Each structure stands twice: as structure tokens, then as C-alpha cells.
Amino acid sequence: MEIDLVYLVPFLAMLYIVYHYITKDNNYFHDKPIPSMATQPLLGSSWRLVMKKISLHEFIIEIYNKYPLVKVFGMFDMTTPVFVVRDPELIKRIGVKDFDHFVNHRSVFGNTDNNHPRALFSKTLVALNDQKWRDMRATLSPAFTGSKMRQMFDLVGECCESMVKFYQNEVRRKSGTKVHEMKDVFTRFSNDVIATCAFGLKVDSMGSVNNDFYTNGKKMVAFDRPIVILKMIGFQMAPRLMGWLGLDLFDREQNDFFTEIIRDTVRARDADGIVRPDIVHLLMEARRGLLKHQKETKEEEEVKGFATVEESEVGRVQVGKGMEMSEAEMVAQCLIFFLAGFDTVSTCLTFLAYELTINREVQDKLYEEIRETKASLGGGPLTYDAVQQMQYMDMVVSEVLRKWAPAPSTDRVCVRDYVVDDGERLKFTIEKDTVVFFPIAGLHYDPQYFPNPGKFDPERFSPENREKIHPGTYLPFGIGPRNCIGSRFALMEVKAIFYYMLMEFTFEKTPNTPVPLRLAKTIFGISSEKGIYVEFRPRV
């Protein structure tokens, strides 16, 4: 019995220490004049999401609707206290006006102080903090202007034409049509676009289904794997230890694969003086300080897509000779561009295909605009300027991004104490290092801002209606200086492929097309539970 007590006492003491550590902040919101969600040890308020009882998209809408009359409420994301901001004006204040108090994102995917050469995610633009982020944003921003997208458009167009030809040939070979799973189709397309635009490679993911670039990309974005989830918990609970161990969100195999591609590409271009209008070239220019921010013309400002985000002054600041960007930092920026295209853009394309399939009147109207655009080009190839002029296309894409926002929420970290004071009855302090959530999906589904939010209605974004949309309620690419730097590229890619595909095919429902659509219960992004199957039927 004495021996048992020798082991039991330390064990109980350890349990108490662990329990105290994971519950020490449970009373954080008790002295705040805002409501807060119930919490459970370790799993916090998001236990249903962590246990895969609900999709992230539905979870964000659910918690947003929990307190319909408040501007802010509290919750716990596992052990982290989080302020969820519902009020559009306060979102604008935090995201834009008082941005200096909320410069950083939360370090969920890696320690931003990790200087280990293999730790690539911590070197990406999305993971950098404070001045490092400002310098990198200013260095990269000129690479994503409308003029640079125009130069890169031919590369995107080549991928679009290749995809259309592949499915045309498939129909001829099999003397009929075939049903396709949209996520697979558009992940392969996005993979080829990123390969050519970011890595300078020609990849055919339709014909060569198991090419190395695609298979390594699939592994990289498999965020629901147990090892990745364990890493995320580690980064959240013990970021210093994870950094000391040199661990990264990405597996070493994928890190090495993509690093070698960039290394070989840069070496070859330096040696042979190769110039190609892609991201690698722009990064090489940025590193040399040769990439300058060009002011857009009045015409470019007028025709850009409604969802396109504005670059802030942070991104317009000239950083002299450019950053001393290491090879690892160059690879990291290509990788984050890859992740955005491989998963986020393919998600948007997947849900756009779905909505056009089940809303035939929208598909037909869009096709008529595509025919008119082709006629205006005199039979020539699609151009960047022609894409920008397609008004109904922009309305359709804007509505897809509202209804199926690829990022259902975004966050900021308070870098110094911030007083919330609405001038009425709400006044409290958001302490330094506390996390703030913007519930994007909740705002997009609030009938106060978007009546009948479950309906797919591109007319919300018609020229006469878009001016009525509150800028703090529509956030598909985020808000403020830390918005998505690649919004122009993403919109260009989405519109271009649907121009080419709808010119040749109608999108038809099949017995396996999910109506209504059920979302997969995942803690990352947004996807269909059982896939989205659509028939590509050649136009007569």
C-alpha cells in the first residue's frame, strides 16, 4: 500500500497540474460585459467541431447566430480564449483603422520564430509577424497587381485550353459523356496552373494522373491526417518546443521536393538568362529590388472584380533594394501560393460548378455573356481585359464566394491592449496576445445583410445592388492590410476556366449530384460530404 502511495501522489499531482494548465483561462470572459459560450476542458467551445460532429462552415454560422443581438461574444478554441466579432463596423475598425493593434495571425500552423531551414511554413507570408510580415508584404505586393496578372494570363489560358481539349478527346474516345467529380477535376486543373505560374513547370494532371507534382501536393494539403492534427495541437500548446525540434506543418518529403524544384529553376534561369512571366521570375525580381509597385489606371480600377481586395499602404511601401530573401523564403512563398491555388481556388471552382449545374437559368445566362465576349474578340483567344469586362461572370463568382466562402473565418492577434468602446454601453479591453475571430460565413448568411441567404442569387452583385452591400459584411478574401494578396490571380483563374469550359460543355445534373448538398464534417475549409458529380455534355 505504501508503494502504491509513492506512485499515486505524484500521479495525482501531475494530473492536477495538467488540468490546471488546460483550464486556467476558463474564467477569462467572466469580467467582460459580453456573453461567452460554454467550454469543456481541452476541447473548449469547439468540441463539436474537433470531434467532427459539424462542418467548419456550419459551425461558424451556428456560433454567429447564437447571440444575434450582440456585437462581440467570447468562446474558447480548445484552450485559447477568442473574441468573436459580429459587428461589421467593429470588424472594419479592428481590421483596417486600428490594424496596428491587430497585425498578426494566430500561429496555428507553425512557430513564426522558427529559423530552422526545413521549417518552411513559418517563413510564408501568411505566417510571418510584425515587421517581417510588413517587409515581405511590401516586397511581394507588386507581383500581384493587375498589370502583372495581365502578363501571366497567357499561362493560365494555356492550362484552360489543355483542360478543355482533354475532356473533348475523352468524349470522342468513349463515344459519349462521362460523369466527373468536381473537386478532383478542379484540383488537377489548379495544380497545373500553379505548376506553370509559380514553379515554371509544365504538368499535365489530367493525362498523367499520378505525376509527382500532383501527388506531393495532395499530401501537402491533407490537413485532416492525424499527424498534422497532432502537430497543430503541438504548435498551439507548446510552440517553443515545436520550433526547437525544427518541426513544420509540411512533411520533410514534400519540403524537399518543392525546394529542389525552386532551387533548380532559379539556378537555370540565373545561368541562362531565362525570363518567363511567372511567380518565380517575380520573386527573383523582388529579391533584387527590381519589382516596383505600379499605380493602376482608372480603367483597371473600374473593371476589377467586386470581390477583389484593395492593397493597403503597407503593401505599397517601397522597401529599397528589396528583402534579403533566402532560398527557403522564396520556396515558402511559392508553397503558400501553391496551397491557396491547390485547395482554396479548387474549392471555389467546385462549388461554382455545382451552383451552375443546379441553377440552369444562371448557367444559360452566363453562357450568353461568354458567347458575346467571344464574338467581341473576333474569334481570337481570351484576354485578361476581356475577362475583366464580363459583368455577369463577376456577379456569379461573387455570389459563389458569398455562399461558399473557402475560408469560413479568419483571425487576428492583438499585439497590444485594445479598448473596445462603441460609445454606448459596450466598453472592455482586449488584452495583448488575445485572439479575435471574424466569422465570415456567419456574416455571409445573415439575412440582415443578404436576404434569403441560402438562395444562389447573382443579382445581389448587380451594378445597382452591389453598392448597397456593407463592406464589413462581405469578406471572401479577408479585410485590411492582411487580406489575401492573391485575390486578383484567384479570380482571373476561376473566370478563365469557366469561360473555356462553358463555351464547349453544358454542366448537367446526374443521379449522384447531391441535392441538397451536405458538407463534410471537417475542421478545415469546406467540402462536400460525398463529392460533387457533374456531367460535362458537349454543346451541339
Is there a contact between 139 and 128 (Cβ–Cβ < 8 Å)?
A: no
Q: How far is CA 82 from CA 25, 111, 160, 412, 436, in A?
A: 11, 19, 42, 10, 5
The grid cell for 270 is 540565373
The grid cell for 240 is 517553443
The grid cell for 100 is 496596428
**Can you tell me the distance from the alpha carbon of 3 to that of 90, in angstroms, rounded to the nearest whole number?**
60
**Secondary structure of 96-142 as H, E, C letters:** HHCHHHCCECCCCCCCCCCCCCCCCHHHCCCCCCHHHHHHHHHHHHH
Is there a contact between 98 and 62 (Cβ–Cβ < 8 Å)?
A: no
The grid cell for 327 is 532560398
E strands, 386-484, where?
410-413, 418-421, 427-430, 435-438
Contacts of 179 (CB under 8 A, 6+ apart): 510, 512, 533, 534, 535
Is there a contact between 159 and 196 (Cβ–Cβ < 8 Å)?
A: yes
With vertex at residue 405, the alpha carbon angle to CA 490 and CA 80, rounded to the nearest 5 degrees, is 115
Is there a contact between 82 and 437 (Cβ–Cβ < 8 Å)?
A: yes
Contacts of 37 (CB under 8 A, 6+ apart): 45, 63, 66, 73, 74, 75, 76
**Can you tell me the distance from the alpha carbon of 101 to that of 95, in angstroms, rounded to the nearest whole number?**
9
Is there a contact between 372 and 23 (Cβ–Cβ < 8 Å)?
A: no
Contacts of 181 (CB under 8 A, 6+ apart): 531, 532, 533
Is there a contact between 114 and 75 (Cβ–Cβ < 8 Å)?
A: no
358: Cα separation from own chain's centroid? 25
**Is 197 assigned a ligand-binding role in the annotation?**
no
**Can you tell me the distance from the alpha carbon of 418 to that of 431, in angstroms, rounded to the nearest whole number?**
6
Q: How far is CA 495 from CA 160, 342, 349, 491, in A?
A: 10, 16, 9, 6
Residue type, 376: S
**Can you tell me the distance from the alpha carbon of 147 to that of 142, in angstroms, rounded to the nearest whole number?**
9
The grid cell for 214 is 500532383
**Can you tell me the distance from the alpha carbon of 418 to that of 94, in angstroms, rounded to the nearest whole number?**
9
Annotated binding site: 484
Annotated binding site for heme: 484
